[in-house]
């Protein structure tokens, strides 16, 4: 009997308690390997990135009827009623952007401990930097004034978090600080990313070409014209294809599998937008309906004569960057740098892919007659036509002239004045409740 007791005690001392208690629950994991972190990052990419649906309601691209289904959710966005919106109004995302940042922060800060192939790991961390930069870029363009070099140091933007901490204070940082972070992250990403172009279906992930395209847009918003041109050219060196609509209208150039696609990440339309709004007459009028090949591709005419967007909530319409933008960034930047001829050349070369032959001839004539501001305006108009319902318009309005907009809703005229403070979206109430510093 004593032997049994001895054996029991000896056996017990051999079973380490920690081993006994070390149970990995099925379906749960603490990420360690690069593969696990890849799945973790995919999770961050998969968090809804659909705020551009809402900014589009604030632009001049849509018309909204007061009797449309579900109008309660959008009317206050549409008429820029930020002061006392209906509680049903769709709320701009804030938490989901920071949630994405949480994921990227965790990957970036775990660099030292991620196990696996070095190249895969660098690509992964590079993507995390790029995705983080992108989230801050979206935040600063939703909730802060557009970048203005002279005031960026004092203009308030959004809080910055680069590591998880629920206990600390989150004061708002300046626009300059946020842009500095964005450019830093882009630089890190450029150094780490090693895939030129992502394969189809995975092109929601950042690649070398995507980070360059992103950089070009950041510099464009900062009005760093030459840097924007350089970045755009770096991107075009990797991937420059444009879809010529004269030969191929089987697909829209913004679709994830079109030749122009560089990064297909953000959702730009939803069910209500497609079914319960129409395209504003302003936007419709911006096109030459017969000669501009984009018009019938982008829009669908309803029985009452109005138009609706063909770009929809389907995942194939996800888009963030495509080559067309690079060409237009170059044209715009050249115009701003007073390189009018080069700008016209770039614009006309691009337009060849968008207009019928006759239309292109007319466009050439029109553009060649322009100079100075009128040229810049035409380039911006071309941007408007090219990126209709792609979530670019609101930011383009903001970063350029912040023009006066007027809308009619339910028989009432609403106006967004030039340089209106409502070009900055107020922080959502859940953000303010949770962070008294906002």
Partner 1 sequence: MRNLICLLIFIPSLLFAQQEKVIEGKVIDAKLQMPIVGASVYVSSAIIGNETNTKGVIQGSMLGTTTNFDGEFSLKIGTDIKFIMVSYMGYETEKVDVSSITGNISIALKESLESLQEVVLTGYQKIEKRKMTSAYAKVDMEDINQAGVASVDQMLVGQLAGVVIQPTSGGPGAPAKISIRGTATLNGSSDPLWVLDGIPLEGNDIPQDFRDKDNIDNLQSYPIAGLNPEDIESITVLKDASATSIYGARAANGVIVVTSKKGKKGAMRVNVNANVFVTQKPDFSKLNLMDSSQKVDFELFLAGRSDLNYQQDRGGVARILNNYGEYNNYRDNGFASISTNAQNEINNLKNTNTNWGDELYQMAVNQQYGVSISGGNDNNDYYFSVGLFDEKGATKGTGQKRYNITLKDNFKINDKLKVGVALFGSQNKTSSYITGADAYTNPSYYARNANPYLQIKDENGNYVYDPDLVERSDLNLDYNILEERENTNYDLVSSSLKAIFDVDYQLNDDIHFTTQLGLQLDFDKTEKFSDEASYYTRKYEQRSQYLTGSGVSYYMPKGGIIQNWDADAFQYNWKTTANYNTSFNDIHELDVMLGTEFRRNDRTEIHAKGFGYNSNTLTTVPITDERALTNALFETYNKTYSENAYASFFGTASYTYNKKYTVFGSLRYDGSNLFGVNPKYRYLPIWSFAGSWNVYKEDFMDNMDAISDLKLRASYGVQGNIDKSTSPFVIGEYYNTSILPGVSEEIIRALNAPNGNLRWEKTTSSNIGLDLGLLNNKIYISGDYYSRKSTDLIGLRSVPLESGYNFINTNWATVSNDGFELSINTTNINTPNFKWTSGLNISHNKSIVDDIEIREEDFKPSLKGYSVNAIFAIKTAGLDSNGLPLFWKDGNKVSAVEFYNLEAGTNGSQLTREEHRNLYSYVGDGTPKFSGGFRNNFKYKQFDLRVLTNFNIKQTVKTTPSYNMALAQPGNNYNTDILKAGTGNYPALIGLNSPGFDTDLVYTWFNSSDDGQTYNDLDIWVKDISYLRVSSIKLSYAVAKSKLEKLNLSSLSFNIEGRNLFVVGTDYDGFFDPETYGSLYAQPIPRIISAGFNLSF
Each residue 120-159 as x (binds partner 1 by CB under 8 A) or -, in order, gives --------------------------------------xx
- Region binding partner 1 by CB under 8 A among candidate stretches 91-99, 177-185, 269-277, 289-297: 91-99
Phi-psi region of 420 (alpha: psi -120 to 50; beta: other; left: phi over 0): beta
Each residue 178-217 as x (binds partner 1 by CB under 8 A) or -, in order, gives -----------------------xxxx-------------
Residue 15 or 365 having the CB closest to partner 1: 15
Residue count of the chain, please give it.
438
Binding residues for partner 1, rule CB under 8 A, total 62
- Candidate list 25, 67, 412, 413; residue touching partner 1; CB under 8 A: 25
Three-state SS for 192?
helix
**Whole-number minimum distance, CB 287 to partner 1, in Å?**
28
- Candidate list 6, 7, 69, 86; residue touching partner 1; CB under 8 A: 86
**Whole-number minimum distance, CB 24 to partner 1, in Å?**
6
Are the beta carbons of 215 and 130 closer than 8 angstroms?
no
User: Whose CA is closest to 378, among 331, 433, 416, 422?
Assistant: 331
Assess 418 for contact with partner 1 (CB under 8 A): no
**Whole-number minimum distance, CB 106 to partner 1, in Å?**
5
Kindly identify the residues of this chain, within the stretch 344-403, that bind partner 1 according to CB under 8 A: none
Assess 433 for contact with partner 1 (CB under 8 A): yes
Crossing angle of helices 118-143 and 175-192, rounded to 10°: 160
Assess 45 for contact with partner 1 (CB under 8 A): yes
- Candidate list 166, 247, 250, 413; residue touching partner 1; CB under 8 A: 166
Compute the distance between CA of residue 224 and CA of residue 216 in angstroms, rounded to an integer: 9
- Candidate list 20, 285, 303, 304; residue touching partner 1; CB under 8 A: 20
Assess 411 for contact with partner 1 (CB under 8 A): no
Are the beta carbons of 130 and 262 closer than 8 angstroms?
no
Mapping DSSP onto H, E and C, the string for 71-92 reads HHHCHHHHCCCCCCCCCCCCCC
Assess 167 for contact with partner 1 (CB under 8 A): yes
Residue 48 or 119 having the CB closest to partner 1: 48
Assess 271 for contact with partner 1 (CB under 8 A): no
- Contacts of residues 243-249 at CB distance under 8 Å and 24 or more positions apart, as own/partner, are 243/353, 244/352, 244/353, 245/293, 245/294, 245/297, 245/353, 245/354, 246/293, 246/353, 246/356, 246/357, 249/293, 249/297
Characterize the bridge pairing of strands 299-301 and 412-416: unpaired
**Whole-number minimum distance, CB 159 to partner 1, in Å?**
5
- Region binding partner 1 by CB under 8 A among candidate stretches 43-51, 122-130, 298-306, 375-383: 43-51
Q: Which residues of 385-419 are buried (b: 16+ CB within 10 A; e: fewer)?
A: bbbbbbbbbbbbbbbeebeebebebeeeeeebeee
Largest CA distance in the chain: 108
Assess 305 for contact with partner 1 (CB under 8 A): no
Binding residues (CB under 8 A) for partner 1: these are 1, 5, 8, 12, 17-18, 20-31, 36, 39-40, 42-43, 45-46, 86-88, 94-95, 98-99, 101-103, 105-106, 158-159, 161, 164-167, 169-170, 201-204, 256, 264-265, 314-316, 318, 430-431, 433-435
């Amino acid at each position: 009997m004593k032997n049994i007791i001895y054996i029991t005690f000896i056996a017990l001392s051999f079973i380490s308690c920690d081993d006994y208690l070390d149970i990995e629950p099925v379906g749960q994991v603490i990420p360690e390997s690069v593969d696990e972190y890849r799945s973790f990052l995919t999770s961050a990419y998969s968090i809804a990135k659909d705020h551009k649906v809402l900014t589009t309601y604030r632009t001049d691209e849509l018309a909204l009827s007061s009797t449309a289904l579900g109008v309660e959710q959008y009317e206050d966005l549409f008429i820029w009623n930020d002061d006392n919106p209906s509680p049903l109004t769709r709320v701009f995302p804030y938490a989901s952007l920071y949630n994405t940042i949480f994921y990227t922060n965790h990957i970036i800060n775990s660099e030292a401990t991620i196990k696996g192939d070095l190249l895969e790991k660098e690509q992964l961390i590079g993507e995390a930097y790029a995705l983080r930069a992108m989230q801050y870029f979206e935040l600063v363009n939703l909730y802060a004034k557009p970048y203005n070099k002279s005031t960026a140091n004092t203009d308030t933007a959004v809080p910055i978090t680069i590591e998880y901490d629920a206990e600390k204070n989150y004061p708002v940082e300046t626009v300059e600080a946020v842009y500095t972070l964005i450019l830093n992250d882009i630089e890190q990403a450029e150094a780490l990313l090693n895939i030129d172009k992502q394969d189809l279906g995975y092109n929601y992930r950042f690649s070398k070409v995507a980070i360059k395209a992103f950089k070009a847009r950041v510099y464009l918003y900062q009005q760093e014209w030459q840097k924007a041109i350089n970045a755009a050219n770096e991107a075009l060196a990797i991937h420059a294809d444009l879809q010529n609509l004269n030969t191929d209208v089987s697909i829209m150039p913004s679709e994830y599998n079109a030749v122009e696609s560089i990064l297909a990440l953000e959702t730009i339309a939803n069910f209500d937008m497609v079914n319960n709004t129409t395209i504003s007459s302003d936007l419709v009028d911006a096109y030459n309906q017969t000669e501009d090949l984009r018009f019938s591709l982008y829009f669908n005419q309803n029985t009452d004569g109005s138009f609706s967007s063909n770009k929809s909530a389907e995942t194939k319409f996800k888009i963030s960057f495509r080559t067309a933008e690079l060409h237009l960034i170059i044209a715009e930047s050249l115009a701003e740098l007073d390189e009018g001829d080069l700008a016209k050349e770039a614009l006309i070369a691009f337009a060849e892919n968008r207009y019928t032959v006759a239309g292109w001839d007319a466009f050439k004539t029109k553009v060649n007659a322009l100079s100075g501001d009128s040229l810049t305006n035409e380039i911006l108009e071309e941007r408007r036509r090219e990126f209709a319902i792609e979530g670019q318009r609101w930011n383009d309005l903001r970063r350029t002239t912040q023009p006066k907009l007027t809308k009619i809703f339910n028989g009432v005229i609403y106006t967004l004045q030039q340089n209106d403070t409502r070009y900055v979206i107020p922080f959502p109430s859940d953000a303010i409740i949770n962070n008294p510093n906002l």
